[in-house]
Amino acid sequence: MKILAIESSCDETAAAVVENGRKVLSSVIASQVSEHIVYGGVVPEIASRMHAQAISGVVSKAMSDAGVGYSDIDAIAVTYAPGLIGALLVGVNFAKGLAYSTGLPLVPVHHLRSHIAANYISHAELEPPFLCLVVSGGHSHIVAVKDYTDFSIIGRTRDDAAGECMDKAARAMGLPYPGGVNLDRISADGDSSVYKLPHPHVDGSEYDFSFSGLKTAVVNIIHNSKQKGIEVSVPDLGASCIETVADCLVKNTVKAAENYGFDKIVLAGGVSANSRLRKRMAAVCEERNWQLYMPELSLCGDNAAMVGAQAYYEFQKGNVAGLELNAFATMPIDE
């Protein structure tokens, strides 16, 4: 079964053709980074307009790169939630138009479910059940993936997402957007023991996260140093910030795996590209003899191949939408 998948939830316009949920026949991504860089973050209105300009060409290229026509395609899939509403609507409306004109079924895909599915592309043998740490710019969840379309949230952030925390810390350190990636690069050789940061935890919940206090602590160190005329070492402060975030993510995931009885751990979402997080998670899994699956780096960020992968399993489950399909800025993964 070949699925044409479309993704436009944030600042990447993407389309892909994926066969049977696992084989990527084409994957095209038009990034808007250069448009948003001057503002230090994604400007939703600009994102929507850029998607509208790019989407037709991106979809055509995905089809021609895969060497297919619409008669070879079995379904059209699209990210419909969660994300920037104006951005999502561009992809949803384009997909609806295609479904109407071709008569093909329309498969709505949840963005975080598709991040998890990126792992089905990278690891042909991976099947649920497993425990997944999904960490992106907007979400930080520990999820029990009971089946391809059956999820239950074990832990979540109470405030900022891990990606958001690193993006804002990076911005305070004067690094350009996209902050998380640049912070990862610049702190590669940084010493994480130079700056002491609080390790936030949430009272009464051993699986939830809280990152807003950590972000504030980073900003305070920068301000205090400036007032005293002391230069901040961005590599060291960056290393400390990332290590603290990774520490919280890894500790809670390990607790959840132990208490819920998982020995198969999966990483997903943009932050799963982080080199320190990947190393830390690999180390704890090796110690415990757990299997660890992480998406290849090219599939960590937003792309449409992962949408095509998840759509295959949604379609098998009968999750097909009519042309009344709407986009939603928020939507739980387990609904």
Separation in Å, CA 207 to CA 193, 255, 266, 322? 25, 7, 16, 37
Q: Report, in Å, the least distance between residue 83 CB and ligand KG4.
A: 7
* CA distance linking residue 252 with residue 257, whole number of Å: 9
- Contact residue for ligand KG4 among 116, 265, 273, 321 (CB under 6 A): 273
Interface with Zn ion includes 119 (CB under 5 A)?
Answer: no
* CA distance linking residue 80 with residue 135, whole number of Å: 19
Q: Report, in Å, the least distance between residue 87 CB and ligand KG4.
A: 11
Q: Is residue 51 within a helix (H) or strand (E), and if so which, with residue range?
A: helix 44-66
Interface with ligand KG4 includes 167 (CB under 6 A)?
Answer: yes
- Contact residue for ligand KG4 among 32, 119, 122, 136 (CB under 6 A): 136
Q: Report, in Å, the least distance between residue 98 CB and ligand KG4.
A: 23
Of the two residues 181 and 267, which places its CB atom closer to ligand KG4 in the complex? 181
Scanning residues 210 to 239, which ones bind ligand KG4 (CB under 6 A)?
none
* CA distance linking residue 278 with residue 282, whole number of Å: 6
User: How many chain residues touch ligand KG4 (CB under 6 A)?
Assistant: 20
Q: Which listed option, Zn ion, ligand KG4, none, makes contact with residue 163 (CB within 5 to 8 Å by class)?
A: ligand KG4
* CA distance linking residue 148 with residue 113, whole number of Å: 9
Interface with Zn ion includes 192 (CB under 5 A)?
Answer: no
**CA 307 from centre of chain:** 12
Interface with ligand KG4 includes 138 (CB under 6 A)?
Answer: yes
Of the two residues 73 and 181, which places its CB atom closer to ligand KG4 in the complex? 181
Interface with Zn ion includes 136 (CB under 5 A)?
Answer: yes
Residues 113-133 as b/e (b if ≥16 CB within 10 A, e otherwise) read: bbbbbbbbbbbeebebebbbb
Separation in Å, CA 204 to CA 52, 132, 182, 250, 256? 45, 22, 34, 18, 14
- Contact residue for ligand KG4 among 180, 190, 235, 308 (CB under 6 A): 180
- Contact residue for ligand KG4 among 128, 190, 235, 270 (CB under 6 A): 270
Q: Report, in Å, the least distance between residue 114 CB and Zn ion.
A: 8
Q: Report, in Å, the least distance between residue 203 CB and ligand KG4.
A: 26
Interface with Zn ion includes 243 (CB under 5 A)?
Answer: no
In a 10 Å sphere around its CB, with 0-12 CB exposed, 13-18 middle and 19+ buried, how is residue 279 labelled? Answer: exposed
Beta strands in the chain (DSSP E): 2-7, 12-19, 23-31, 75-81, 106-110, 130-135, 140-147, 150-156, 264-268, 291-293
The answer to whether the beta carbons of residues 209 and 249 sit under 8 Å apart is yes
User: Closest by alpha carbon to 223, among 215, 37, 188?
Assistant: 215
User: How many chain residues touch Zn ion (CB under 5 A)?
Assistant: 2
Scanning residues 87 to 116, which ones bind ligand KG4 (CB under 6 A)?
115
Scanning residues 291 to 310, which ones bind Zn ion (CB under 5 A)?
302
Q: Could you tell me which residues come within 8 angstroms of residue 282 by beta carbon, excluding any fewer than 6 positions away?
A: 292
Q: Report, in Å, the least distance between residue 269 CB and ligand KG4.
A: 5
Q: Report, in Å, the least distance between residue 227 CB and ligand KG4.
A: 28
Task: List beta partners, residue 109.
Answer: 79
Interface with ligand KG4 includes 295 (CB under 6 A)?
Answer: no
Question: If DSSP codes are grouped into helix, strand and coil, which group holds residue 259?
Answer: helix
Interface with ligand KG4 includes 314 (CB under 6 A)?
Answer: no
Interface with ligand KG4 includes 21 (CB under 6 A)?
Answer: no
Task: Tell me 209's DSSP state.
Answer: B
Give the residues lining the site for Zn ion (CB under 5 A).
136, 302
Give the residues lining the site for ligand KG4 (CB under 6 A).
10, 115, 136-138, 163, 166-167, 178-181, 184, 269-271, 273-274, 301-302
